[in-house]
Amino acid sequence: MEKSLAPRSVLVTGGCGFIGSCFIRMLRDRDPEVEIVNLDLLTYAGNPENLPGITDSPRYRWVRGDVRHEETVESLVGSADWVVHFAAESHVDRSTAAKAGAFVDTNVYGTFVLLDAVRRLRPECRYLQIGTDEVYGDVAFPQMPDEGWMLDPSSPYSASKAGADHIALAFARTHGVDVMVSRCTNNYGAYQYPEKMIPLFITNALDSLPIPLYDGGGQIRDWLRVEDHCEALLLILEEGRPGEIYNVGANQEPERTNLEVTEMILECTGASASLIEHRHGLRPGHDQRYAVATEKIRALGWTPRADIQEGIASTVRWYAENRGWWEAIKSGAYREFYEAHYGRPAS
Ligand code: NAD
Ligand code: TDX
């Protein structure tokens, strides 16, 4: 295995989002001396408040900029030991709406711009492409795709992420860039934008609002606590091999349906099951099941710590105790998307 030295400088893209901000908080906790540059455009999903206690640090710098913008990216890669690329359009339901070109633009072209700058200006750095298990598409039970599985993405979101993975791996093979790709399952935890199922259902339950459960709720997602994901990413950066792909997932046993996770949320919030509103047709091409084989990342020594029941309970507690964080989001531009998508007001 390759073993990289502790980085002195890390360029993170999308560090004001849900997972990128967790990664920055974790990196800072591990090494207060590391220099962190966060390139984030602050789209609707970005929020500097996801980085409490970090934004004032002299060893942290946020650059409000676009990964698609060559000059911006060129000005930042020069001193990075690690480049960790989270920035993306990340919500499947937005990718199936009209005017979803930003998914291709940011997720595919943005990845190309970043890698091309790395190739030219910082070829010695380690580059980690943050990918998703959704690139394998709908996976029939009991199959568990390993990293060599055929890609068969269903949504414009997952297709754009598959394109990004291909670009990244092509830069490893063609240009010898030290690229690795991670492919993680669904994350949950603090600071997740409340358009995604778990924070949406928790915050609606806390406000006694309808819980829009799609297509009967029988779908399977392999929910992983965001801290467990970020631990895996640090391990890949430290010990992963150039040009390799690493699946990351909880491998829930038994696998949990969306309805079962919803029931956990109802129990933890004390909300009534009558809030569940069955909705159909809101997710065209809805994948039934995601799952991944994780032997490769486990062989590096990673294992998820959080149990789903305990993880949901502590996540519910976080949203209950941090109303100000999500109420500010839900009172803003969020309302437009919610009304257009769900056909009802957000409150
Ligand atoms: P998020 O939507 O919460 O955050 C995305 C961040 O990227 C935001 O801060 C946004 O401002 C920034 N951004 C968007 N476009 C940009 C651009 N053009 N230039 C610079 N910054 C830009 O997303 P997330 O849930 O934290 O996901 C992060 C990454 O992890 C994504 O690449 C996503 O595909 C991947 N991923 C997510 C999950 C999940 O469950 N959320 C699972 C596996 C992989
Ligand atoms: O209102 C809803 N009702 C509902 O039943 C929403 C928003 C979702 N769902 C269902 C659809 C899915 O089966 O919940 C499941 C999870 O949906 P999301 O939270 O939107 O996540 P998903 O589409 O699975 O994708 C997420 O995990 C993989 C992230 O958004 C991606 O960025 C990541 O790559």
pLDDT tens-digit readout, 68-105: 999 999 999 999 999 999 999 999 999 999 889 999 99
The average pLDDT across 169-187 equals: 98
The candidate with the shortest Cα–Cα distance to 291, out of 250, 258, 261, is: 250
Instruction: Express each pLDDT in 250-303 by its tens digit.
Output: 999 999 999 999 999 999 999 999 999 999 999 999 999 999 999 999 999 999
Q: Tell me the Ramachandran region of residue 210: left when phi exceeds 0, alpha when psi lies from -120 to 50, beta otherwise.
A: beta
Quickly state the pLDDT bin for 1 (edges 50, 70, 90): very low
**Active-site residue flag, 157:** yes
User: Which residue has a Cα nearest atom 2 of ligand 2?
Assistant: 197
**Active-site residue flag, 133:** yes
Assess whether pLDDT exceeds 90 at residue 4: no
CA distance 276 to 257: 15
Looking at residue 303, what is its pLDDT? 98
**Any residues with Cβ below 6 Å from ligand 2, and which?**
90-93, 132, 134, 186, 196-197, 200, 212-214, 219, 221, 258, 283
Query: Measured between alpha carbons, how far is residue 204 from residues 18, 208, 260, 313 in Å?
Result: 19, 6, 17, 16
Helices (H), the chain: 18-30, 70-77, 92-95, 101-104, 110-121, 156-175, 197-206, 226-239, 258-269, 295-299, 308-321, 323-330, 334-342
Assess whether pLDDT exceeds 50 at residue 20: yes
Looking at residue 98, what is its pLDDT? 84
Percent of the chain with pLDDT over 70: 99
**Active-site residue flag, 70:** no
Instruction: Express each pLDDT in 192-223 by its tens digit.
Output: 999 999 999 999 999 999 999 999 999 999 99
Looking at residue 330, what is its pLDDT? 96
Q: Which tokens sit at 245? A: 């792909």
**How many Cβ atoms are within 10 Å of 321's Cβ, its own excluded?**
10
Q: Which ligand is nearest to the CA of 214?
A: 2
Assess whether pLDDT exceeds 90 at residue 224: yes
Assess whether pLDDT exceeds 60 at residue 107: yes
The average pLDDT across 6-34 equals: 97
Find the 108 Cα to ligand 1 centroid distance in Å.
13
- Amino acid, single-letter form, for residue 111: T
Q: Which ligand is nearest to the CA of 217?
A: 2
Q: Is the CB of 249 under 6 A from ligand 1?
A: no
